[in-house]
Structure 1
């Protein structure tokens, strides 16, 4: 059952719904019956002006549901003050096998008390507000999705597809989830602990043109000498001045940026090549398989070998 409300994000509904519908085409038995619900049955308008029909009024739900999925949207935090909506989510969730939210739908779960004492995530723009409003929730500001017991939450918008694929994998195995992702031409089921952002997205864009060029050079050449002295020389600055200016304009230190960029490079190599781990380590600038393992675990919360087994797409 997918719960919507006026102003919801249409992709938060459509993405997971298509994941479950595609799974139904591949599962001979034990598939999913999709149901859209709202406080009142009838037409519900999404934030982009499109309308959908909620066939079920939440107050009429008396039988246990398998999965209760609450969508998000720009209006979700405001709907946390809707006592009827929050009350019905809380009531239906009590008998559901599992409860989940997409994006800012986490505000509705939190308001219902369903995230108390649990780890949860939401859209990166809303994590600070979620943490400030609900101090009993352990907010994970970076993960694509989080499963804590029978309650799942996901980051913004299209991360709902990753969440739905994770639920399909929990029900039917990773192989089926991968087939569903391939059918939808989607990313091959990112691990929940993976960051919401690649390195360039997580960093600020420098105001200085030379630093913007240097940032691009780092991302394009992970195996080069990217030490602070080497980067400072390339930027034409003293090491101390370079470190200060880079950190100020990019938001993180040069060393941290380089490590993140190399972790991204290693991830791409694992996904798109059949290179052995020692070659992946060399070409990503991480040097040795041991450093690759430690860095990969720190940034992606999964081992390099595990990541390749789950997300390898082709050999080049």
Structure 2
């Protein structure tokens, strides 16, 4: 039996490293450390999905990078951890509707995931699903103003590599997903395990959530929730 069953939510035009960074942490945990993990790749259809648009087909560089779903938002099994990457596609509300609805229903399910985990603008899907209402979160600093404006009921924390609010983990831009996933691993399996994954990756992780230089670089400030 798996120690952790992971659901990776992929939509057209997701950011590759948002997905690949946390997934590589889990690969190392499974392959080199013997943890029993299971994975479901979830999309809106069973068609291959990647960082290009579906209209691109295989005609662009990004369009040639395709991942094959194992299930859809309509028939996905129970999971312990939901991972939602960001990317250009996350702001396309019409395309995101089935993904946002899946997150909303999953959050209110009789047996919801133990952890919700977003990277970069993936937090926008959480906000639109309503699971960040009156919660603290963070997101990509380069696009801070645009993203936070679309989550008016969330308390957005600027100087944060990741933010934990109950069972919801949100991380900053792109590579922050690695640091956040290592922090989650430390929470679940302890620091020694997270340190081992970090060393195997040859990655110097942020050890404190507030270790974030990018908020200052991009002039980001906290955004308080707006009352209805």
TM-score category by the smaller chain?
0.7 to 0.9
Write the distance in 2 (CA, Å) between the matches of 1:202 and 1:76.
24
The residue that corresponds to 2:48 in the other structure is 43
- Deviation digits for residues 255-275 of structure 1 (CA, Å, limit 9, x no counterpart): xxxxxxxxxxxxxxxxxxxxx
Q: TM-score, normalised by structure 2?
A: 0.81
Matches for 1:103-142 after TM superposition, within 5 Å: 103-142=120-159
Are residue 2 (structure 1) and residue 19 (structure 2) matched?
A: no
Write the distance in 2 (CA, Å) between the matches of 1:131 and 1:67.
24
1:109 CA displacement: 0.5
SS at match of 2:148: helix
Given that 2:15 and 2:51 are in contact with CA atoms closer than 8 Å, whether structure 1 keeps it comes out as yes
The residue that corresponds to 1:86 in the other structure is 100
Write the distance in 2 (CA, Å) between the matches of 1:100 and 1:111.
15
Write the distance in 1 (CA, Å) between the matches of 2:94 and 2:167.
21
1:28 CA displacement: 4.0
Matches for 1:169-208 after TM superposition, within 5 Å: 169-197=186-214, 202-203=216-217
The residue that corresponds to 1:52 in the other structure is 67
The answer for unaligned runs of 5 or more in structure 2 is 1-6, 53-61, 220-228
Matches for 1:1-316 after TM superposition, within 5 Å: 1-29=7-35, 31-47=36-52, 48-49=62-63, 50-61=65-76, 63-79=77-93, 82-94=96-108, 95-197=112-214, 202-203=216-217
1:74 CA displacement: 1.6
With over 3 angstroms needed to count, the CA separation of the structure-2 counterparts of 1:203 and 1:86, relative to structure 1, is: closer
**CA-atom RMSD in angstroms:** 2.0
Write the distance in 1 (CA, Å) between the matches of 2:217 and 2:50.
35
Higher strand share: 2
Higher helix share: 1
Given that 1:67 and 1:98 are in contact with CA atoms closer than 8 Å, whether structure 2 keeps it comes out as yes
Write the distance in 2 (CA, Å) between the matches of 1:105 and 1:126.
12
The answer for unaligned runs of 5 or more in structure 1 is 205-250, 252-316
Write the distance in 2 (CA, Å) between the matches of 1:56 and 1:81.
18
- Deviation digits for residues 153-191 of structure 1 (CA, Å, limit 9, x no counterpart): 001111111111111111100111011011011113532
- Deviation digits for residues 196-238 of structure 1 (CA, Å, limit 9, x no counterpart): 43xxx9458xxxxxxxxxxxxxxxxxxxxxxxxxxxxxxxxxx
Greater Cα radius of gyration, structure 1 or 2: 1
SS at match of 2:116: strand
Whose relative contact order is higher, 1 or 2, with alpha carbons under 8 Å and at least 6 apart?
2
